[in-house]
Structure 1
Amino acid sequence: MTRAIPRSAIVVTGAMLALALAGCRNAEAPATPQATLATSGVTDAKIAAPGDDEWLSYGRDYSEQRFSPLTQISDTTIGKLGLAWSADLETARGQEATPLMHDGTLYVSTAWSMVKAFDATNGKLKWAYDPHVPRDTLARACCDAVNRGVALYGGKVFVGTLDGRLVALDQSTGKPVWEKVVVPNQSDYSITGAPRIVKGRVLIGSGGAEYKARGYLAAFDAETGAEAWRFHTVPGNPALGFENTAMERAAKTWSGEWWKLGGGGTVWDSITYDPKLNLVFFGTGNAEPWNPAPMGRSGDNLYTSSIVAVNADTGAYAWHFQETPEDRWDFDSDAQITVADLTINGQQRHVLLHAPKNGVFYVIDAKTGQFISAKPFVPVNWATGFDPATGRPAVNPAARYEKGDKPFVGLPGAGGAHSWQPMSFNPKTGLIYLPANIAGFPYAAAKGWKPSDIGFQTALDGAATAMPAITAVRDGAMKATTGALIAWDPVAGKAVWTVAQVGPWNGGTLSTAGNLVLQGNAQGEFVAYSADKGRKLWSFPAQTGIIAAPMTYAIGGQQYIAVLAGWGGVWDIATGVLAHKSGATHNISRLLVFKLGAKGTLPPAPPMAKLVLDPPALTGTPQQVAHGGQLYGRYCNVCHGDAAVAGGLNPDLRHSGALNAAEAIRSVVIDGALHENGMVSFKSALTADDAEAIRQYLISRANEDKALEKARPGAR
């Protein structure tokens, strides 16, 4: 950042006057080199106004509406839709990407940040790229080895890798053109989001707000990878000064020593460009750690859990709107941000539509950030109301769990009422089609918590809130945990229709001019609904849960619909028994492509393995089991599931052979015997005695659940 030069120090000659003027630039609007704009292939103009037949950016165009004007596949023809082709993927993790289609080629990223290019008509593989992400990256990546998509520009394909690189690939061959590490370090940061292209630059942020990350959004030249600008979302150490006045203002909303853990506020998903205003809007993540007490954190903690707008050319701050002040519930604002023109109170408004994790649907003026409306779209108990003039929430005193001794069961929970799964907006119906989660989460502050060198840094007590092996408690939690597809009227601030779903964590949506909404679900169905009424019109058994959003394109007068199938993500790996609310499901990672009249079929799904609990007898003391439960809750449950019940992607440790021998689990937890599989050594935080305590806890949990199964066959 250029600093102002005192005029008393300047000798005013022609050359020195130019230097002085350069030095006196507004500190928030630094000079940045101009990018070379693409003149062929995918250009800025094409992203702004793509042809009806193509899908050129994550949300199809800059507005992120995920609406297609194609009508060949419609509410009257959908019954003829069939599988045209499919492609099996070698990455058996959660699949979250939206494919892009340009000039007859379908480009898709998969788990582990791999990229593939297919002939969009028949599925023939044109090329494949593997960035060879080290598998131990999982230890710092929340949550799962997912990737949400690529960007196209000029003759290149861009992908962010889980280990923090930005890679430019040749669009015709898949060979790397350039790559660079774009995160501050490769121990606390990761990338799972899809890059966006704005005026010859590639925009990308990072994940890591559960680790020790300081959030940012950065822009890189598409030709060279050179960094053009970077906007931090939280202030750094005040003793080192601030990059700009936006950071200086933000620091006044923090207390304690927040910077020692980075502060959070990561930009891990939503990035939206508005060419009309030349502004980039992006959402920011939670403050770190979630529990504010250990770091002495208080105040609103700007710019966490906010929408922030910056100048597209310089990255200079324009405005912000904070949706969840003093966030302690992991209510990221990273969900997709949609731009639309709506008539509100008789006036045409250019607005942002946003449904973040906190369960509230916001309408915000795109130019100024002025609050327009805030309406809960699911049950909410962390706030008792919202100021009608400012949108500021009145926080429920019980929700400040760190101030008391009792856990707080928050609605929504940390999984979010709406997370990264994209919503879509249909300008014909005026409705948003929103995948919603209706699920609580128990928050309890850890006592005497200190940061560690590895694992989540949330300062929560995962042992105190673990699901007990009590049938009534589990049944009650299961019953209260559901999902919904909501058709939301953003002007009226209410649902027009709702489709109840068995469980949460269903896929993103696509809306089309053919009066369709398409969505995959956690039960393994790919479903088409009528956009006006929500009537179920068609479905396809995908054999696996679908969490990604579909897209559509046309070639030679034939419309296709494509979706990635593959169950995973945070709900699968972290929520224990609740991960199975929609039924046990395989991860069968595939790209599925449909068209009218097609008759394709999938091979039979492999049978579900039936694991029988057969643990050794408990030999540990109650004190060991309690200590092991505390350690498991802090270091293990985010990957292996709440209360040691895994969702399916990662090993269920109740069935581990390592339970039979102390040296076996020690070799894994302390010595890192499974390092290459992603299970890194925890020796920087745990001792051999700690590993044994975790083993005894797992044995205890396995025996509890074995008894539960014996009492009620089929219970987990």
Structure 2
Amino acid sequence: MNNFLLISAALLIISCSGPTEDEKIADETNTSEWLAYGRTHSEQRFSPIADIDTSAVKGLKVDWYLDLPRDAGLVSTPLVVDGVLYFTGTMNRVRAVDAINGKLLWSFDPEVAKHLGKTRKPGWTQSRGLSYYAGKIFTATWEGRLIALDAKTGKELWSVLTIDPDKQMSITGAPKAFAGKVLIGNGGSEAAPNRGYVTAYDTETGKLVWRFYIVPGNPDDGFENDAMAMAAKTWTGEWWRYGGGGNSWHGFTYDKELHTLYIGTGNGGPWNPKVRSENGGDNLFLSSIIALNPDNGGYKWHYQTSPGDAWDYNSNMDIVLAALDIKGVKTKVLMHAPKNGFFYVINRETGKLISAKPFVETTWATSIDSITGRPNIPPGARYENGPAYITPSPHGAHSWHAMSFNPTTGLVYIPAIHDAVIFDDSRTNLKSWKDNPSKGGIAVGLSDPDSLPRPYTGSLEAWDPVKQKLRWIVPLKELWNAGTLTTAGNLVFQGTADGMFNAYNAWTGKLLWSYNAGLGISAPPITYKINGRQYIALLVGWGGAFAGVGNKVLGWEYNRHIRRLLVFSLDGKAIVPPQPPPYFAKPLVDKTFIIDDSKVRAGFELFFKCTGCHGAGAVAKGMAPDLRASPIPLSSDVFTDVVRNGAKAEMGMPAFGDLTDDQLEAMRHFIRRRAHEDAAQTKVESERAAEN
């Protein structure tokens, strides 16, 4: 009898304890919150709220907004927990606001500038999001810290440094919290020889629980596990001298049903396999999905999307979970649309390929073998015989901008990219690369082709994952468009590079509603419902790689347009001040500056370090100031103070403490040459326009 009472009491306690944290995050019926990067653990970005539907959406208006004058690029997915909206902005500053009216509740500044050091290469000052678990908000900083905050107060609870401060790595991705742990990866395969890895920490204490390396290290040092020993058999030469890459900076999904963690992995370092693995090989686990045991990081299975990657075709894109009807059988699958342009449906229990078809043009591979799961790669595609026209380009057919899956329509909504590039290593000194493995970079030349795959470079695609076919497409004006949200109201929401926030019919792709935000949009929208009102929230602020190294200036000038958090509803009455029109930098001409051609050539080589933010050819795209129009390079002392001493580190300009006086002077001459060239071109164009 006593045993019976004890068992009954135990069962009563369990039944009254309520759902676990992971059950809460996995709950697809929750409408009042957005608890994870993709709303729930499935990462579907589908909301069951249907108040705003195809009929009502035309009445959508701004309910409230928050100006963010200290921010630049905004690419984050907000979270909503218990009536509070959380988001991260420039320099990893975290804010908590009332989700009903936008009132600021607390803010947290991790003071990234104080932790950057003097020799760090640039990383982007933006983050794609936060994670929530058991009353804590988790944020990761540019220079490598993972921080736990009290969700109610914003107080720092613990902080750990996740990367070696001497390594040229950085973090732009959102942490992923699951099963009492929080995972973070890193980026930097182009910055220096880096060996990518992910690390899981205890959510309560910040203690390291496990770490999984993505590529094998030096065999002489031994391998961390059997998975690394297996992977080493797919590499050749002295790959470890070049790092190998594989950095997993985005694309983490926890499968509560199967208690499995899936991570997407990055491209090779350097890109050119002739350097990093000179005698070929698949180079595991580059450009792969890896299934891990979430308790200890143990390897379960992998699927490699781009064996022996030679094109920057990482698989860091989102991994979406669903149950699909495959040949009459309800099957647990994951869906993945990586950079390489093929849409993959994979059995998430076994890792076996179900199907893969191209959703854009793919010259690097003609198809995916349905039996082996390997791509059929035509001769010359690895630029082994000279220049190769390759599509997708390194921007990818789909980048980190989130896709969404609607269980009602059965469709996936993909922000697709249609771009191409010429790969050519014939002018690259591969011997120099092999002799100097510490230099970092890509080891191949890139150039624009004469023609692109389509007359438009971006689109919104509705893709049928079961039939592996396109259902509808909306061509878009620009390439770099934001992630999507889909709802039970039969809607798809997406922001675009030209500043429009659009709602489409999820079944047909018909445009139903638009709002001009006056600034390029890079962040995906979310939705939630409180007190009977459905809200749509969106961060507006041009950002991401294309805002640094894109091939087009859209006029979203750094520090000129106000970044904002916009929240819409059917009852919205807020009046939002208009943005300035697009602005294009006007290069400064200093006739007293005598340009030395020999210094210009040296400065051109050095400026490679700066292109990620300030743009190729010193033509900024919005990530950072346009140096052609900046007075800072006009003064040697001021330029030195900013570039070498870090005078503007708090604004996201890191210190390059290892640059010499001669190197700094060479960069100044390069910037002046570019300013004078473009100023002359602008003058000619203006005169022609006046004549016409």
TM-score (ref. length: structure 2): 0.89
Matches within 5 A, 1:34-73: 43-50=21-28, 51-73=30-52
Equivalent residues, number: 665
Q: 2:330 aligns with which of 348, 351, 367?
A: 348
Matches within 5 A, 1:430-449: 430-445=410-425, 446-447=428-429, 448-449=432-433
- Is 1:364 matched up with 2:346? yes
Q: 1:130 aligns with which of 109, 112, 117?
A: 109
Matches within 5 A, 1:27-106: 43-50=21-28, 51-106=30-85
- Is 1:177 matched up with 2:157? yes
Distance in 1 of aligned mates of 2:158 and 2:66: 28
Kept in 2, the 8 Å contact 1:89–1:591? The answer is yes
Q: Deviations over 1:183-207 (max 9, x none)?
A: 2436422222222222111122222
- Is 1:321 matched up with 2:300? no
Change in Cα spacing, 1:309 to 1:137, as seen in structure 2 (3 Å) is same
- Is 1:697 matched up with 2:681? no
Change in Cα spacing, 1:71 to 1:425, as seen in structure 2 (3 Å) is same
1:313 CA displacement: 1.6
Change in Cα spacing, 1:714 to 1:295, as seen in structure 2 (3 Å) is farther
Q: Deviations over 1:530-583 (max 9, x none)?
A: 10001111111212111111111111111111111111111011124x243999
- Is 1:488 matched up with 2:463? yes
Distance in 1 of aligned mates of 2:527 and 2:625: 36
Distance in 1 of aligned mates of 2:80 and 2:380: 49
Which range moved further: 201-210 or 431-440? Answer: 201-210
Distance in 2 of aligned mates of 1:673 and 1:68: 45
1:510 CA displacement: 0.4
Aligned to 1:15: none
Give the aligned residue type for 2:82. D
Change in Cα spacing, 1:81 to 1:135, as seen in structure 2 (3 Å) is farther
Q: Deviations over 1:158-192 (max 9, x none)?
A: 11122211111111111011111122436422222
Q: 2:612 aligns with which of 638, 641, 647?
A: 638
Give the aligned residue type for 1:241. G
Across the aligned residues of Structure 1 and Structure 2, the Cα RMSD in angstroms comes to 3.0
SS in 2 for 1:580: coil
Give the aligned residue type for 1:641. G
1:60 CA displacement: 1.0
Aligned to 1:458: 442
Kept in 2, the 8 Å contact 1:135–1:677? The answer is no
Change in Cα spacing, 1:321 to 1:708, as seen in structure 2 (3 Å) is same
Q: 2:315 aligns with which of 316, 324, 333?
A: 333
Change in Cα spacing, 1:85 to 1:480, as seen in structure 2 (3 Å) is same
Change in Cα spacing, 1:222 to 1:352, as seen in structure 2 (3 Å) is same
Q: 2:515 aligns with which of 540, 544, 561?
A: 540
1:82 CA displacement: 0.9
Kept in 2, the 8 Å contact 1:53–1:70? The answer is no
Give the aligned residue type for 2:471. V
1:697 CA displacement: 3.1
Distance in 1 of aligned mates of 2:434 and 2:396: 26
- Is 1:600 matched up with 2:574? yes
Kept in 2, the 8 Å contact 1:665–1:692? The answer is no
Aligned to 1:251: 232
Aligned to 2:482: 507
Matches within 5 A, 1:88-167: 88-134=67-113, 137=116, 144-167=124-147
Give the aligned residue type for 2:246. G
Give the aligned residue type for 1:46. K
Kept in 2, the 8 Å contact 1:553–1:560? The answer is yes
Aligned to 1:384: 366
Change in Cα spacing, 1:47 to 1:691, as seen in structure 2 (3 Å) is same
Distance in 1 of aligned mates of 2:637 and 2:102: 48
Matches within 5 A, 1:202-241: 202-211=182-191, 212-241=193-222
Change in Cα spacing, 1:458 to 1:585, as seen in structure 2 (3 Å) is same
Kept in 1, the 8 Å contact 2:200–2:210? The answer is yes
Aligned to 2:623: 649
Aligned to 2:493: 518
1:696 CA displacement: 3.4
Distance in 2 of aligned mates of 1:152 and 1:688: 46
Change in Cα spacing, 1:457 to 1:42, as seen in structure 2 (3 Å) is farther
Q: 1:190 aligns with which of 150, 153, 170?
A: 170
Which range moved further: 283-292 or 578-587? Answer: 578-587
Distance in 1 of aligned mates of 2:20 and 2:73: 28
Kept in 1, the 8 Å contact 2:121–2:656? The answer is no
Kept in 1, the 8 Å contact 2:121–2:609? The answer is no
SS in 1 for 2:628: helix
Listed as ranges, the gaps of 5+ residues in structure 1 are 1-37, 468-472
1:701 CA displacement: 2.8
Q: Deviations over 1:289-340 (max 9, x none)?
A: 1123344543111001100001122211000000011112211100000011
Q: 1:629 aligns with which of 571, 594, 604?
A: 604
Give the aligned residue type for 1:698. I
Distance in 1 of aligned mates of 2:628 and 2:142: 29
Kept in 1, the 8 Å contact 2:485–2:492? The answer is yes
Aligned to 1:706: 679
SS in 2 for 1:654: coil
Kept in 1, the 8 Å contact 2:420–2:453? The answer is no
TM-score (ref. length: structure 1): 0.86
Change in Cα spacing, 1:627 to 1:186, as seen in structure 2 (3 Å) is closer
Distance in 2 of aligned mates of 1:541 and 1:225: 42
SS in 1 for 2:112: coil
Aligned to 2:13: none
